[in-house]
Structure 1
Amino acid sequence: MNGARQKALSPGFRPKVLCLCLVIIIVSASRIQAREPSLDLDASKDLPQSIARLLGPKDSLLAENSKGEILYSYNPNALRTPASTFKVFTSLLALKKLGEDFHFKTEIYQDAEGNLKIKGYGDPLLISEVLEPLAGEIASRTKSCKQIVLDSSYFKTPLEIPGTGSTANPYDAPVGALCVNFNTVFFTYDANGKLVSAEDQTPLIPFAEKIIRSKELPRGRALLTQEHEQTTLYAGHLLRYFLRENGVKCGEVVLGRVKPEDKLLFEHESPYSLTEVAGKALEFSNNFIVNQIFLTAGVHEKGAPATLENAVNTAREFAAKELGIKDLIVAEGSGLSRKNRITASQMMKVLRAFQPYQTLMHYEDGVWYKTGTLHGVRTLVGYIPEGDSDGLTRFVIFINTPGGSAQKVLGRILQSN
């Protein structure tokens, strides 16, 4: 499922995620000549009947060409639930606050007692393919450690994201300062009924196997939780496995803090820039990734530890100062919460600012777009090339009427142009 209810993103970004596809027929026609009404007007521009009949009173539509001329407008100033299209705003927020070339870090320390200490800073792409070479780097500097001490203090714990539940669904994956593999474990059973990893790059370690058996789950994904800092401990146990594979003798895995007197061995930098992270978040509509960068933007502005309140305030201030959107209603960064509310006019301001990053969106049949899906909600935002010119038509489609289709509305827009 796309939107807030996304499928899980497997480590390494192998093609395991089925993305929703738009089936779009683009019909060439003359450009619409339109007057330039203000986005502040509540009046809706007259719509072709083929489009109007697809919209209900709880829906909104706004489309403008590269000159800023409004092509279609319907309830542009009514607050709507954006679902995962809100990820476009959060990605813009992070790119502007943290920088396009920002890289997440993880710090590696050693104390006087020979303990190895790992401090996380919210890296959302600390996956097995990254963790294994990280273990190799540690092994080049030390061959033993008394304990592996995990420091997750950069994020407040527990930190609950509005809209998430206690299900085993990947979209409910919790956030944290030190997490691996999106806080999920992908597993299956072999021909003999033995529990095994479903990913070649990720071993099924005893810590994870115990969790799976306690939940009595069928094959698929086990979701780690914040209870007893399970997510953080799994990161440490998986790192210990890779360290032992590299010849490092390690003791138990425990929770703790880095102290001022501890020696910094090195600072690991994620191989992914924030631009790449945002692109993957939008492509796979991954709630975990988006809320990690949402919280990190809050830390950047308000200081550690990361809290939901600081991230929300940072987002609202950015919207007001940089986009001219006053009193944006933000609950979290991914669009999972129905408490996120935005108008089509406000989202259009987001799209204008996001246009330099349009290629981070999914591209199909000549359209860059981001979808959003919740129960009874279907949304689409994006960009349509204008003929042979370099111009782009921007569109916002918020369907908050159960049974409605944002894809059909976009299809009609393309056929009408």
Structure 2
Amino acid sequence: MRLTRRHMLAGLASATATSAWAEAPSGSIRPRPRNPEEYLARLPGGADLVRKTRLPGQVGFAVANARTGEILDSHEPDLPMPPASTAKALTTLWALDRLGADYRYETTAVATGPVTNGRIEGDLILAGGGDPVLDTDDLASVVMALKAQGIREIGGKVKVYTGALPFLHEIDVEQPDHVGYNPAICGLNLNFNRVHFGWERSGNSYSVTMDGRSGNYIPAVEMARMEVIDRSGPVYTYEQSDRTDSWTVARAALGSGGSRWLPVRYPGLYAGEVFQTVARAEGIMTAGPVERADAVEGVVLHTHRSDVLPPLLEDMLRYSTNITAEIMGLTASQTLGPVRTLQGSADRMNAWLKKTYGLRTVSLEDHSGLGDDSRITATDMVRAMVGSGPGGALRPLMKEFALDDRRFQVDAKTGTLNFVSALTGYVSGPSGDPLAFAIFCGDIPRRDALTMAQRERPEGGRGWIAVAKGLQRNLLELWGKKYLL
């Protein structure tokens, strides 16, 4: 080995250190404990982080002791902001209060006539109870239950009843037609009211499929149709008839192949057609197209029940499914009487939030947060988090939000719209009471300036969201160091 000046200096330093440590040290080898007050004084405030980040738009936040409600840090806490999908946390509280944790949705198969020698002498009504998570596998289980009873033919029609909930053409009128997170809603829903569109290049043309697939079945559907058009844009167009969702797609956007989910505007007919297709595949004869039923009268042959509410709500919060939130909110509102619109249902929830948790400035227009005219302040969101409590029913349903500093456990709900980012929930640490927080970021003028064509992937949108999320993480780690160590 070549002896260099650096090796010599390192050896001398090592020898000196060994000699020094041969004797007992004259003082403690442990570092002096830092002054906690001095350490905390050096930490920036939350408002300092906001200024340093320079996120275009506005930021409002509040953090409180989750047990006492004492506000520990805030910035523009009373500024009304869009909650985006953090509104689903409030909907969770509303649904649990009005419906109870043991509530289950029911979908029933009802015969309008007697069953004779395996033949239903009348219609078979598929009656929805609003189940937001009903899928094709669930409908297949209904078919198999009928088959097990010996039913081999439906003498009348397959009909669908959707009146358990109001029919809503879409959740938010300001969304593009083709986005799968903005479907129709009614009392009978299937596969989150989305149809699977697949395409594959075949020579100079494309083969396309429209189906209602789930885990074990891929039934083709006729009520949703797609045509490939030789144009550069728009990518999708939509037209509606009395029974059919008619789509076109630009050939230039398809590439060699792919798939996506499109929204369904006739959920009842969609569910009925899928049910009929699966029934025929299992040897149950049915005739004619699916029809609508105005009422449900007859003998219940089978009832499919959903899981209880907490797992449904946990999935809703984890995957931020808009249709589940809206159905939960509507179902809860209808315990107080019929409701026909999302705004009417949201008004009932707003009133309940004010009465139950003391919220002052809350005006939600739906239950999912998809509508960007909804407003709430960080102070009010924190009031709801404190009111629910860190040991209450909401926190266990929230998704874990990982920070780089693993000393802190965060359970939260995110919310994202174009140029809007929100986060609310709870954070715990090695010591101290848990914290409840809400952080709202939004560049509303920039969002409002977007055209309909720009709303799915606006220029600059991803970068803005990344900066907002970075600010949120920095705030959480700051609060953890200040209040939980």
What percentage of aligned pairs have identical amino acids? 23
Q: Matches of 1:212 and 1:131 in 2, distance apart?
A: 28
How does the TM-score come out when normalised to structure 1? 0.80
Question: Does residue 1:328 correspond to 2:328, yes or no?
Answer: no
**Cross-structure match for 2:400:** 363
Deviation at 1:156, TM superposition (A): 2.4
User: How far is the alpha carbon of 1:135 from its aligned partner?
Assistant: 1.6
CA distance in 1, matches of 2:418, 2:271: 33
The partner residue of 1:133 within 135, 141, 145 is: 141
Aligned equivalent of 2:28: none
Answer whether contact 1:60 1:344 (CA < 8 A) is retained: yes
Match of 1:243 in 2: 279
Q: Does 1:152 align with 2:162?
A: yes
Q: Distance in 1 between matches of 2:199 and 2:164?
A: 37
Question: Which is further off, 50-59 or 107-116?
Answer: 50-59
Deviation at 1:155, TM superposition (A): 2.3
Deviation readout 1:295-316 (Å, 9 max, x if unpaired): 111112213x653354123202
User: Is the strand fraction higher in 1 or 2?
Assistant: 2
Matching residue's letter, 1:299: Q
Question: 1:91-126, CA deviations, whole angstroms, 9 ceiling, x for partnerless residues?
Answer: 111111111121111122111242101111211101
Whole-Å separation in 2 of the counterparts to 1:122 and 1:31: 56
SS in 1 for 2:131: coil
How far off its partner does 1:187 sit? 3.4
- Output the CA distance in 1 between the equivalents of 2:321 and 2:39: 38
In 1, are the aligned partners of 2:347 and 2:365 still within 8 Å (CA)? no
Q: Partner of 2:247 in structure 1?
A: 215
Q: Of residues 417, 423, 447 in structure 2, which corresponds to 1:374? A: 417
User: Cα gap change, 1:50/1:206 in structure 2, threshold over 3 Å: closer, same or farther?
Assistant: closer
Question: Where does residue 304 of structure 2 map in the other structure?
Answer: 268
Cα 1:344/1:163, change in 2 over 3 Å = farther
C-alpha separation in 2, matches of 1:352 and 1:310: 26
Look up the match of 1:54.
Answer: 53
Q: Distance in 1 between matches of 2:421 and 2:314?
A: 21
2:179 pairs with 169, 178, 195, which one?
169
**Amino acid of the residue matched to residue 231 of structure 1?**
P
Checking the alignment, whether the CA contact within 8 Å between 2:80 and 2:361 is kept in structure 1 is: no
Closer, same or farther in 2 for the Cα pair 1:32/1:373, shift >3 Å?
farther
- What's the counterpart of residue 25 of structure 1? none
Whole-Å separation in 1 of the counterparts to 2:346 and 2:476? 36
TM-score normalised to structure 2 length: 0.70
Provide closer, same or farther for how the CA distance between residues 325 and 414 of structure 1 changes in structure 2, counting only shifts above 3 A.
closer
Q: Is the 1:282–1:361 Cα contact (8 Å) retained in structure 2?
A: yes
Shift of residue 63, structure 1, vs aligned partner: 0.8
Counterparts of residues 176-191 of structure 1 (less than 5 Å): 176-189=186-199
- Aligned partners of 2:412, 2:188: CA distance in 1, in Å? 31
Distance change in 2, residues 1:224/1:74 (3 Å) = closer
Q: CA separation of 1:166/1:407 partners in 2, compared to 1, >3 Å: closer, same or farther?
A: closer
Cα gap change, 1:202 to 1:195, in 2 (>3 Å): farther
Residues 255-313 of structure 1, C-alpha deviation per residue, up to 9 Å, x if partnerless? 122344x222233211x22111111111111111111111111112213x653354123
- For residues 264 and 327 of structure 1, the distance between their equivalents in structure 2, rounded to whole angstroms, comes to 46
| CA distance in structure 2 between the aligned counterparts of 1:61 and 1:268, rounded to whole angstroms | 44
Letter in 2 for 1:61: F
Q: Distance in 2 between matches of 1:140 and 1:278?
A: 32
1:320 Cα offset (Å): 2.0
1:353 equivalent among 367, 381, 387: 387
Rounded to whole Å, the distance in 1 between the matches of 2:74 and 2:361 is 22
Aligned match of 2:460: none
Give the drift of 1:70: 2.3
Q: Cα–Cα, structure 1 residues 162 and 209, in superposed 2: closer, same or farther, change >3 Å?
A: closer
User: Do the aligned partners of 1:108 and 1:265 also contact (CA within 8 Å) in 2?
Assistant: yes
Change beyond 3 A, Cα 1:180–1:349: same
Shift of 1:383: 1.3
> For the residues of structure 2 that align with 1:32 and 1:338, how far apart are their CA atoms?
43
Q: Distance in 1 between matches of 2:370 and 2:100?
A: 25
Q: Please say if residues 154 and 306 of structure 1, whose CA atoms lie closer than 8 Å, have aligned partners that are also in contact.
A: no
Residue 84 of structure 1 is matched in structure 2 by: 85
Answer yes or no: is the 8 Å Cα contact 2:81–2:377 preserved in 1.
yes
Tell whether the 8 Å contact from 1:297 to 1:314 is kept in structure 2 after alignment.
no
Q: CA deviation at 1:163?
A: 4.8
Match of residue 313 from structure 1? 347
**CA apart distance, 1:368:** 1.2
Find the counterpart in structure 1 of residue 208 from structure 2. 195
Q: Check conservation: 1:85, 1:335, Cα contact below 8 A.
A: yes
For 2:187 and 2:227, locate their aligned partners in 1 and report how far apart those are by CA, in whole Å: 23
Q: Secondary structure at the match of 2:363?
A: coil
Amino acid at match of 2:220: I
Pick closer, same or farther for the CA change 1:164–1:362 going to 2, 3 Å.
farther
8 A Cα contact 2:63 2:74, kept in partner: yes
Q: What is the rounded CA distance, in whole Å, between the counterparts of 1:331 and 1:280 in structure 2?
A: 22
